[in-house]
Amino acid sequence: MKNFITFFVLFISFFSFSQKESAWWVFGDGAAIEFTDTGIQNRSNNTNIVTSNFNTDEGCSSISDSQGNLLFFTNGSSIYDRNGSVMPNGIGILGNVSSTQSTMIINAPNTNGVYFIFTVGGSGNGPFSYSRLEMSLNGGFGDIVPGVKNIILLNSCSEKLNGIQKQNSNDVYVTVFSQNNVTATQSGTGDFNSLYTFEVRGAGSASFILPNPIPQTNNSNSNRFESLVFASSRDRGQLKFSPNGNYAAIAIQGFQSSTAQDYGAYLLNFDNSTGQFSGPVLTLESQQPCYGIEFSIDSNYVYYDISDDFAPTSTTSRSIIQYNLSAPSNILNTRNVISNEPAFAARGSLQLGMDGEIYSVELNNSFIGRINNSRTAAASYTKQFFNISPGLAQQGLPNILPSTILSNYTLSNQTVNTSEIQIFPNPTSDYLGITASEELESVEIFNMDGKSVLSKSLQTNSAHIDLTDLFPGLHIVKVHNLTGSTQVFKVIKK
C-alpha cells in the first residue's frame, strides 16, 4: 500500500508542476516573487524587474508560461514584457494603478500564445474593457493586437474584477460589479448593486469574448444579478470566486455613513457550469469596511479583512476573519478572528498562491504576510512572512484566475496518510465508494487540467460520491482525514 501511495504522490507532483502560469508575481513598488519547487524566491532584485521601474498602488497581474517562466506583467495602465520593457502598443490601457483589481490576464481558451487582458478603472469612473495580446508579436516578446485594444464592455464599473473557469471546459467566466443601469455606451448611475458576467469562449483554434453579459435566471433573465443586500456607493474592495466555482465573495470598503450597505463582506452561490449567481446573499460582515477577500484552496473557508484606510498609522487597525463553508446552513455561526492588529495596520489584498496558502500586503512594507494553514480551522496570520526587499509592497497583489492556481497547486508537500482507505469501483461509471478505518474530513476530485470538479465534506468513515456529472477520463481523487493527512488516488471515469 505504501508503494502504491508513493506512486500517486509522484504522479501528482509531476502533474501539478506541469503548469505554472501563476509562478511569478510582480506587484507594488518594484516587488516580485517566484513560487518554485523549493519554495518562494525573492525576485525584486531581478534585473528585468529593477529596470522596468514597475509601480502600482493597488491592482496588477502577471502571467508565466507552463514551465514558470515570466511572460509579461501589467498594472492595468501599461504592459511590460519579460525583459521589463513596455510593449510598443502596451501604453494607455484603460485600467488604473489605484484600482483594487485593475486588471486580470486570461489565457485565451484553445489558442496558444494568446491572452485577454481585462481592466477596470478607478473610483467607479472607468470602464470595464479588454485588450488582446499575442506573444508572436514584437519579436516573440508579445504585444497588444492593433484594433483589439481597450474594447469597452461596460462604460462604468467598480474596482472589482475576477473570473473562474467554466466547469468541464476551457472557457472562462469574467465578472465585474457595477450599477444596474450601465451599458457598453452609457455610464451607470446610483449604487453599485449588480454583478455582470461575460464569457471568454474557445471555438476550435480560435477564441473570442461574448459582447453581452450572461442572462441571469435568478433575476428575471436580465443581464445582471442584482441585490439590495450588497448595494453600495463604495467601489473599493475585492471580488473573488472560490476555486471550485461554487461561491463568489465581495468585500466593500467605505467609511462610516448612515447606509449600512455601504461597506461589508458578502457571500453568494455561483454555478460555474452556467454562469448563474443565486442567493440567498449572506452578509458575513456589515457596518465594517472590508477590502481583501479570498477562499482557501479547497474552497472550504473564506477570509476577509476589516481594515482602515490605505496608510498605516497609530490609529489604523486591521483584523482578518475566517468563515467555514463546509456546512452551508451553519456558515454564519463559524466566524473566527485569526488576526487582530489594533494599530499601525491598514487594508491590503488577499491572494491565494500556488503553494495553497493565502498572502497579503500592506502599504510600503518590505514584507508580505501569509495566512498559514488556511484550509483548517487553526489558521493563523504572519504579518512579516517573507522579505521582498528591495521591493516594497503597496496595497495589491496579482489578480489571478482561481482555476489557474488550482492547477498549479503542489500536492507533494502534503503529508500522505498510510492508514487504510479504499475506493471502489475503479474504473467507475456513475459513483465512487470510499471506506476508511477512521473518520474522514472531505474528498476533492480534479480533472487532468488540474481543475477541481467536485468537493464534498464527509465527516464519516464511509461515503458514496455521485460522479454522474463528471466527464469521462482520468481523475485525481484526494481524500482528507480529520488530522490533516491526505491520500491520493487515480480514478478512471468511464
Mean pLDDT of all residues in 163-190 = 96
- Residues 182-207 have pLDDT tens digits of 999 999 999 999 999 999 999 877 88
- Residues 469-479 have pLDDT tens digits of 888 888 889 89
- pLDDT exceeding 70 applies to what percent of the chain? 91
User: Residue 459 has what pLDDT?
Assistant: 87
Mean pLDDT of all residues in 164-171 = 90
Q: Using an 8 Å Cβ cutoff, are 33 and 49 in contact? A: no
Between 429 and 326, residue with greater pLDDT: 326
Average pLDDT over the chain reads 90
Q: Is the pLDDT of residue 6 over 50?
A: no
Query: Could you tell me where in the chain the CATH 2.130.10 domains are found?
Result: 18-408
Mean pLDDT of all residues in 479-492 = 82
Which of 295-299, 432-436, 473-477 shows the highest mean pLDDT? 295-299
pTM for the full predicted model: 0.83
- Residues 34-48 have pLDDT tens digits of 999 889 999 999 999
Q: Which three cell numbers stand for residue 336?
A: 473566527
pLDDT band at residue 9 using 50, 70 and 90 as cut-offs = very low
Q: Measured at the alpha carbon of residue 130, what is the angle toward residues 124 and 135, in degrees to the nearest 5?
A: 140
User: Residue 430 has what pLDDT?
Assistant: 87
Q: Which CATH number fits domain 18-408: 2.130.10, 1.10.1200, 2.50.20, 1.10.700?
A: 2.130.10
Task: For 16-109, list the strands marked E by DSSP.
Answer: 24-27, 31-36, 39-42, 61-64, 70-74, 78-81, 86-91, 103-107
CA distance 357 to 379: 10
Four-residue CA torsion sign, 7, 11, 16, 20: positive
CA distances from 348 to 92, 293, 428 (A): 26, 9, 45
Q: Is the pLDDT of residue 256 over 90?
A: no
Query: Could you tell me where in the chain the CATH 2.60.40.1220 domains are found?
Result: 414-493
Which of 329-338, 414-423, 431-440, 475-484 shows the highest mean pLDDT? 329-338
Between 17 and 373, residue with greater pLDDT: 373
Q: Is the pLDDT of residue 51 over 50?
A: yes
Q: Does domain 414-493 have CATH number 3.40.50.720?
A: no
Mean pLDDT of all residues in 99-126 = 95
Burial of 36 (0-12, 13-18, 19+ CB in 10 A): middle
Q: Which three cell numbers stand for residue 48?
A: 528585468
User: Residue 223 has what pLDDT?
Assistant: 98
